[in-house]
Structures are given as C-alpha cells and as structure tokens.
Amino acid sequence: MPNYLVIGGISSGKSSYAEQIVNDVCKVNKNSKIYYLATAAITDDEMYEKIRIHQDRRPKDWTTIEEEIDIVSRIMEIEETNIIVLIECLTTWLSNLIFHKTDVDYNTKKLINFLATNTDATIILVTNDLGESVISANRETREFQKYNGKLNQDTAKVCDSVYKLTAGIGIRIK
C-alpha cells in the first residue's frame, strides 16, 4: 500500500492537506476504514485548543488513536487490512521521544522499517520542515533540528508521494 508524506512549516496547511489525501484515497478504496493516529499531548491551553480544532474538523467515522511514543505497535494492533492511517505528526512524535528519554534512533528506524515493508495500510504522515529555519544558538534545538531533518529524509525515501506545503498550497515533490 502507498505511503504519503506531507511536509511544511508550522501552520502551513499540512493537516488539512493530509486530510484531503485521506478523502481522495477513500474515493478509490471505498471500503477502507480510517484511523487518525494523534501524537500530541495536551500540555497547555494553546495545545488543547489546537487539538480541539483538529478533532472538530475530523469526520465522526474516523477512529482516533492517541499514542505519543510507540506509533508502529499501535498501528500493528489494528486487525483490519486495507486501512488508511493518518499520522499527525512526526515532529511532535519526535519531540515526545526526546522528552520521554526513549531511544530516538531505535524508534525512528522501527518506523522507517515498518513503512518500507507495510502492505496492509495506506499511511499518510504529516511532519514539519524545520530545515528552512534559522540555525539556533541553542545546542538542544540544533540537535532536534538535526533529528527532525534526518527523520524527514528517511521517511521521504520510503514514501511513494511527498508533498510540500506552503501557504496552504501543496506541491508534489516526489
């Protein structure tokens, strides 16, 4: 099954674009069940509001799975085949891995291997492009940008289609 990557800056329209890809795939695979894998935790009022907006926008027949760390295992727990899984978002997931002091290399390799061998699901991934940002004076931020860039590159390699979002406009780059 195909993998899609939707990449862009913060508030570039990535989520809405990824949701439209889900709808487009559903037109072809009418019997597919849709799963929305949410990686964000509610950490403050602003994040609560952002999550609420995303929830309100999603159709009620989509099944939401909340998972901050082990996203691959959660997908593999789904018993159906011919499913569509929208993962929102890899950058938040990466920050969760770092915050919870889990093995970033192990978990990112696990995801890439899953994507490369996946035959049961259409996977649509959303991620932030931090490569167009300034180089931070903060060592931890530079390290996060490095991990995020590597994750995005590795994910793009195993995705069939990659879309870059700028100002709500998606351009297919692969």
Strands 161-166 and 169-172: antiparallel
For helices 45-57 and 14-28, what crossing angle results, to 10°? 20
Coil/strand/helix, residue 70: coil
> Contact, 85 vs 123, CB < 8 A?
yes
Is 54 a catalytic site residue?
A: yes
**CA geometry: angle at 92 spanning 46 and 162, to 5°?**
120
List Cα–Cα distances, 170 to 11, 90, 161, in angstroms.
Answer: 13, 18, 12
Let me know how long the chain is: 174
Given 33, 54, 74, 110, the catalytic residue: 54
Report, as residue numbers or ranges, the catalytic residues: 54
